[in-house]
Chain A
Amino acid sequence: MSTPVPNLGAPHPGATSELTVSDGLIAETTEVAAAPGKKKRKRGLGLVFWLATSWLVVVLICAVFADLLPVKDPLTPDVINKLAYPGPDHWLGTDGLGRDTLARLVHGARVSVVISVTAVTIGMVVGGFLGIIAGFFRGKTETVLMTIINIILAFPALVLLLVLLAFVGRSLVVISLIVGFLSIPIYTRVARATTLAVAEREFVRASRTMGAKNSRVLAREILPNVVLPVAAFGLVAMGVVIVLEGTLAFLGLSVQQPAPTWGGMIFDGKRYINEAAHVVLIPSIAMFLTVLSLNLVGDALRTRFDVRGSNL
């Protein structure tokens, strides 16, 4: 287990991925090792879960339909009205260029959603695949794969980011791909650990003893048992990426202006904290609620998956 972008020095992304990884890993392995024990199941998901889900749905709608929603123009400056407080004209006030904060939040949601979904998908698919391969075949394949993973982890991500952004430009797609690439090692480690655990189980051994082909064992026995634990952390990992975007903005490495991003809004608004704190607080709260919701929902779903897992 390790952090996805150790050298960016962003403790959150790193730290949280630890959480995601280890949380799942532990849940899985302990269940495997310590056998069935949990009896709490089928409890209602609760009000908090549904509130969190609703918020996420709202964010998703904003991201998808930003252009259709009846919000103001997020890009055109209106310097006379800069730093306006929330009011009838601007429900959430305006930023340092007089642009409507609500409109920028709605459009910024798109960046957050695209980066987090892309990055997590890449991480899960590529990282998951590599992890399963490494965990299943072991031996040289594993050594080589894990060495590559270690190289990615030990390499200063800051340098990689600067080089890629200098040559390819800081478009949403490029940044999503880079963050995705950097999160591959985490998933590889989770998938590998889970695969190692699953491969030891009776049904897999049995299947192998009966002469099943590797590909068949992989597809039929290993994959289904690895996918769920890995996927269960997807939501939580998305939260990590959303916070990471803020750190990238701090380093001047987020999506190119004038596209609004939540991290960019927080960072650009930071210097107004004394005189117009809402400029920085409102996007911070939006990010806070989103990441919190992702964690709550992810946690609730994970509990469910785990329960099912132990029933296998």
Chain B
Amino acid sequence: MRGHRRPVRVSGKRVLASVGLVGLLLGSAACGGGDGDDNGPAQEGTVEDVSEQGDPVEGGEITVGLEAETNSWLPGEGSFSNSGTTVAYAIYDPLIKRTAEGDFRPYLAESMEPNADLTVWTLKLRPNVQFHDGTPLNAQALKTIFDEYLTAPTSNVKNTLADVTALNVVDDLTVEYVLAQTNAAFPSVLTGSPGWPFSPTAAAAAGEDAGANPVGTGPFQFVSWQRDSAFVVEKNDNYWQEGLPHLDGITFRPIPDEDTRVSSLQSGDIDAMQTLRQSTVQRARDLDGVDNYEYLGNNAGGSIINSSIAPFDDLRVRQALAYAIDQPALIDVIGGTGLTPAATQYFSPDSPFYSEKAAEAFPTYDMEQAQELYDDYINDPQRSDGEPVGTDLAFTYRCPPDPTLNELSQLYQNFWSQLGMDVSLETVEQAAHVQNGISKDYEVQCWRVGDEQDPYVTLKNAFTEGPLNFTGYTSPEIADGLETLRTTTDLAERQEAVAQISLDISENVPNLFTGYTLTDIAVRDVVKNVDGWTFPDGTEGDGVPGAQAMWGFVWTTE
């Protein structure tokens, strides 16, 4: 069926992103990864080798190694990172998912249509779909979930749904989401945990333990969960999609240490594993009898600059920082050489929203230019930090503890010191690191940007006033572009708007980048069809973005 070499599915055609904090954290860890170098076949994440797939085989069980454990499986309570999301797709079905072409398309839902001004979105459910406990999936179920869980005070998706003023039941299988304002990107929201229906009766019965007893509509149903060890699911015999799933069961095991996870795949303790680290991808490519399902996403590692404080409020300083770093060297250190291209914006070259112009405008390594900008600033009598003319800048670069980030930050330090800046490094625990970002209590720090959501969602969070605007940067151009993104569904117009925003970001450099993250699901080659999922109507899906697979479509020949 499937040929040998084929293009990897790439950005622009994918859904779901790591939602929430954990995604962000794992992301920043993922810009970890090691070495790379010599052994790399110089394929920049575009081609992969996968064994012959053959015809589907029914039955069999597999074990999947994950990067991290998830705190809870209840949407609104769980922080679904890449590893959490891939597990969730076994027990839940997303209402909306993304196609290979990058459109949002109903998956569990039958249809989703907006009104003329994009303020009311009407969603129709499929008839005769049941949760694992037999509760029917109907409009009332969606309403209960929305009212009692997703918008509860401690819900972690409340802000994501802030624009939704109400969810109304139209008939037994139809609901409408009423928005406070026009939002062309709304379907994107339902690809994430707000769009994973779970049985409201089961959740109510389990009360506070609902997060440990997930009941969805997905291809597999929950069997048992031992935290930090094993999450076990078995085949859902009443699955609404005929002929799925192929497997009898899956055990998901969180194995936080990258080296141990690879060792476990080598020794056969696990049949599949996910990774976001470039060095691990490199190693997995070299293993015999292992197929790699890779995906080059919009997510990129790098740094954020706090443009709300002096001296970083001055464009010359930010540009000097950007011109002084040798991106290929940074990528080499994280092990991404030959895997990932240098990032220049929030969207990867494979995304429909990638902008050539913005890429050209982004500063590339040029020490002279950097020195000129830097000297110009420190010798400026009007310099924004009020220091005497000629005084060198001194600031702290912060990163969470991680071997790769350690090396990365030392490299940054080295580049900037060459300009004369006095850069100290500080290792900050993850929790405090994110807090610092939100309260803008930092100067320059490691960060990870971009996700697989609609550009409106991603860019609005990052560049409008508010705590999630970590860099503190805003501009009329960006606001203008966002307005277009919010109000139109026309792809060309939206691309133009994103390009305008990306160009503004390139020129004003609130962000620095390393490379886009190449994610990977590495499997023993008996595990097949990891990225070959389709929509119920046969439309090709977006593969394995962020190492998240649709497990219902996977089979094993063992």
A169-B426, A256-B426, A275-B39 given; A79·B410 CB < 8 A: no
Q: Which of B35, B400, B425 contacts A83 (CB 8 A)?
A: B35
Q: When the two chains form their complex, are residues B35 and A276 in contact, meaning their CB atoms are under 8 A apart?
A: yes
Q: Confirm or deny: A205 has a beta carbon within 8 angstroms of a beta carbon on chain B.
A: no
Asked if A215 lies at the interface with its beta carbon under 8 angstroms from chain B, I say no
Query: Interface digits, A84-104 against B, CB 8 Å rule (1 contact, 0 not)?
Result: 000000000000110000000
Whether the pair B34, A271 counts as a contact (CB closer than 8 A) is yes
Chain B residue at minimal CB-CB distance from A264? B406
A96 close to B333 (CB less than 8 A) = yes
Task: Given A77-B410, A97-B410, A268-B403, answer yes or no on A82-B427 (Cβ-Cβ < 8 Å).
Answer: no
- B259 near A79: Cβ-Cβ < 8 Å: no
**Nearest B residue to A252, CB-CB:** B401
Partner of A96, one of B35, B38, B283, B409: B35
Set of chain B residues within 8 Å of A166, measured between Cβ atoms = 428-429, 432
- Main secondary structure on A side of the interface with B: loop
Complex Cα distance, B418 from A77, in Å, reads 12
Q: In the complex the two chains form, is A271's CB within 8 Å of B279's CB?
A: yes
Interface of B is mostly: helix
Chain B residues with CB under 8 Å of A257's CB are 406, 409-410, 425, 427
**A12: Cβ under 8 A from any B Cβ:** no
> Is A274 a contact partner of B410 (Cβ separation < 8 A)?
no
With A82-B35, A96-B407, A169-B426 as known contacts, state yes or no: A270 contacts B259, CB within 8 Å. yes
Given the contacts A271-B35, A271-B259, A272-B34, A79 and B429 also touching, CB distance less than 8 Å: no
Q: Tell whether A154 is near chain B: CB-to-CB under 8 Å.
A: no
B21 at the interface (CB under 8 A from A): no
The verdict on B332 contacting chain A, using a C-beta distance below 8 Å, is yes
Residue-wise interface mask of A (250-279) relative to B, using a CB-CB cutoff of 8 A (1 in contact, 0 not) = 011100111000001001101111111000
Complex-state Cα separation, A75 to B37, whole angstroms: 21
Q: Does A76 contact B (CB under 8 A)?
A: yes
B413 at interface, CB cutoff 8 A: yes
The answer on a CB contact under 8 Å between A272 and B35 is yes
Minimal beta-carbon separation of A175 from chain B (angstroms): 12
Q: Is B402 an interface residue (CB 8 A)?
A: yes
- Would B427 and A96 count as touching, CB distance under 8 A? no
Q: Are A79 and B329 also in contact (CB < 8 A) when A272-B34, A275-B35 are? A: yes
B residues 30-66 near A (Cβ < 8 Å) are 34-35, 37-39
CB of B483 closer than 8 Å to a CB of A: no
Write out the residue numbers on chain B whose beta carbons fall within 8 Å of the beta carbon of A162: 429
Minimum C-beta distance from A286 to chain B (A): 19
> How long is the Cα–Cα vector from A77 to B413 in the complex, in angstroms?
10
CA distance A107 to B406 in the complex (A): 18
Q: Give the number of residues in B that approach A within 8 Å (Cβ atoms).
A: 31
Q: How many A-B residue pairs have CB under 8 A?
A: 73
The reply to whether B35 and A252 contact each other, CB–CB distance below 8 Å, is no
The verdict on A72 contacting chain B, using a C-beta distance below 8 Å, is no
B208 → A minimal CB distance (Å)? 26
The answer to whether A82 touches B37 (Cβ under 8 A) is yes
Cβ–Cβ contact B37 & A258, under 8 A: no
C-alpha spacing A18/B404, complex, angstroms: 35
Task: Knowing A83-B37, A257-B409, A258-B410 are in contact, say whether A267-B426 is a contact too (CB < 8 A).
Answer: no
B232 CB contacts on chain A under 8 angstroms: none
Taking the closest CB of chain A, its distance from the CB of B267, in whole angstroms, is 14
Complex: chain A residue closest to B335, CB-CB: A271
Separation of A96 and B35 alpha carbons in the complex (Å): 7
A170 and B427 contacting across the interface, CB-CB below 8 Å: yes
Known: A79-B329, A82-B333, A169-B426. A97 touches B259 (CB 8 A): no
Contact mask for chain A residues 271-299; partner B; CB cutoff 8 A; 1 contact, 0 none:
11111100000000000000000000000
Most chain B C-beta atoms within 10 Å of own C-beta, residue among A83, A251, A256, A275: A275
Q: Are B411 and A273 in contact (CB under 8 A)?
A: no
Q: How far is the CB of A95 from chain B (nearest CB, A)?
A: 8
B37, B326, B413: most-surrounded residue (chain A CB, <10 A): B37
Of A96, A252, A276, which is within 8 A of B402 by CB?
Answer: A252
The minimal Cβ–Cβ distance linking A235 to chain B, given in whole angstroms, is 31
In the assembled complex, the CB of A257 is this many whole angstroms from the nearest CB of chain B, namely 5
Q: Cα distance A168–B258 when bound, in Å?
A: 31
Residues of B within 8 A of A82 (CB): 35, 37, 332-333
Structural contact, A270 and B403, CB atoms closer than 8 A: yes
A77-B411, A79-B329 known; A256 and B427 CB under 8 Å?
A: yes
Bound together, the chains give a CA A162 to CA B400 distance in angstroms of: 13
Given contacts A82-B37, A268-B403, contact A252 B411 (CB under 8 A): no
Bound CA–CA A267/B411 (angstroms): 18
A:56-85 near B, CB below 8 Å: 75-77, 79, 82-83
Q: Cβ of A256: which chain B residues have Cβ within 8 Å of it? A: 425-427
- The smallest beta-carbon distance between B407 and chain A, in angstroms, is 5
* B264 interface residue (CB < 8 Å to A): no
| Residues in B neighbouring A267, C-beta threshold 8 A | 403
In the assembled complex, B464 has its CB within 8 A of some CB on chain A? no
The listed residue (B38, B332, B407) touching A268 by CB distance below 8 A is: B407
CA distance A169 to B39 in the complex (A): 39
How close is B269's CB to chain A, nearest CB, in angstroms?
A: 18
28 inter-chain pairs at a CB distance below 8 angstroms, sorted by A residue, are A77-B329, A79-B329, A79-B332, A79-B411, A82-B37, A82-B333, A96-B35, A96-B333, A162-B429, A166-B429, A169-B426, A170-B427, A251-B401, A252-B400, A252-B427, A256-B425, A256-B426, A257-B410, A257-B425, A264-B406, A271-B258, A271-B259, A271-B279, A271-B404, A272-B34, A275-B38, A275-B39, A276-B35
- Counting from the closest, the 9 A-B pairs by CB-CB distance are A252-B401, A271-B34, A79-B329, A268-B403, A258-B410, A77-B414, A257-B425, A77-B411, A96-B407
Beyond A96-B407, A170-B427, A275-B39, list 18 extra A-B contacts (CB 8 Å): A75-B414, A77-B329, A79-B329, A79-B411, A82-B37, A83-B37, A96-B34, A96-B35, A166-B428, A166-B429, A256-B425, A257-B410, A258-B413, A268-B407, A271-B279, A271-B403, A273-B259, A275-B35
